[in-house]
Amino acid sequence: MNSKVNNEMANNLNNNQVKKSTTMNANENTSKPEAALSFECRQLSKSYQQGPITTPVLSNLDLAVKAGELVAIVGSSGCGKSTFLHLAGALDTPSAGEVFINGVNIHQLSEKQRAKFRNQHIGFIYQFHHLMMEFSAQENVAMPLLIRGDSPKDALAQAQVMLEQVGLSHRSHHRPSELSGGERQRVAIARALVTKPSLILADEPTGNLDFDTAKQIYQLLQTLNRTVNTSFVIVTHDLTLAAKMDRQLRLEHGHLKPLADTSPSNLEQVQNEQRQAEES
Ligand SMILES: Nc1ncnc2c1ncn2[C@@H]1O[C@H](COP(=O)(O)OP(=O)(O)OP(=O)(O)O)[C@@H](O)[C@H]1O
Ligand SMILES: [Mg+2]
């Protein structure tokens, strides 16, 4: 990303700090609630069944995330990170166990209720962005707002503000096929953040981004966390991003374990182990 775009993104983030007093007052909450749980998984298990072949991926996994908490999940390729996020975001059904978001057992909702709940409470950043190819960047970002019933004029205006915040206001009329991989990723991030949800589930949000752009995205996530007390569960191979979160966990053998030592040397060791596992 060139320096002009970098500067634009930095300015927009700064503007956002100023604007928050006007745009986010209703939701603003600078102190994190003590005990409220935003997200909880109890004894979550998932196996994939293909004919006679069973592939166990997650096994009795427990996790509790407080409102406003930032949690990073690392783990080698194929360990089940995307599977876990899909269950957490009610995009797939567990083999066993429960997922609560703001106290609601999401897998007990009907399909229609689940879709509405997802729209109102969850922002999902997919590993492979899943943008709608026939719509512009601005229309893609506006979509969750249109689904919840905002007027097209308001939805497109809010989408444009969010695109500015990810440094893409100059690409708002481009379709995904006319954007670079990192730009598509940023459109997907803007789409997940536009409703200011209480929980963001992010699958490799900075996977396609250069260092400077990734840094700006962290700042945007942190701003949202501080201003609307959004909780984040972020799957990442980016250990710089992981180290900035409140808590780091490792998914291994179907369970989540605390990554107790987050010193740079240990994170480097974890990264090397991940690379070796992926190469073998
Ligand atoms: N629909 C499916 N049917 C059968 N097996 C599947 C299915 N989806 C995923 N798997 C298997 O489940 C395991 C976990 O997959 P998942 O996509 O969750 O891994 P991941 O940790 O996100 O990996 P990566 O870091 O490469 O994105 C993998 O071994 C994968 O092959
Ligand atoms: Mg994955």
pLDDT at 212 (0 to 100): 83
In angstroms, the first-to-last Cα distance of the chain is 33
Position 43 pLDDT exceeds 60: yes
Note the pLDDT tens digit of each residue in 91-117: 999 999 999 999 899 999 999 999 999
Note the pLDDT tens digit of each residue in 234-261: 999 888 889 889 999 999 999 999 986 6
To the question of pTM greater than 0.95 for the whole model, the response is no
Ligand 1 pocket, 156 CB below 6 A? no
pLDDT at 34 (0 to 100): 53
Ligand 1 pocket, 50 CB below 6 A? yes
Q: Where are the beta strands (DSSP E) in 35-191?
A: 37-50, 53-66, 70-74, 96-101, 104-105, 122-125
CB 163 within 8 A of CB 190: yes
Residues 56 and 160: their CA atoms lie apart, in Å, by 42
Q: What is the CATH number of domain 67-95+105-279?
A: 3.40.50.300
Of the listed ligands, the closest to the CA of 54 is: 1
pLDDT at 26 (0 to 100): 33
CB 205 within 8 A of CB 234: yes
Q: What is the mean pLDDT of the chain?
A: 83
Q: Which residues make Cβ contacts (< 8 Å) with residue 243, sequence separation at least 6? A: 72, 262, 264, 267
Residues 75 and 249: their CA atoms lie apart, in Å, by 9
259 alpha carbon – ligand 1 mean position (Å): 22
Ligand 1 pocket, 57 CB below 6 A? yes
In this structure, the residue with its CA closest to atom 9 of ligand 1 is 83
Residues 244 and 242: their CA atoms lie apart, in Å, by 5
Average pLDDT over residues 203-223: 84
Residue 47 β-bridge partners: 56
Residues 142 and 187: their CA atoms lie apart, in Å, by 10
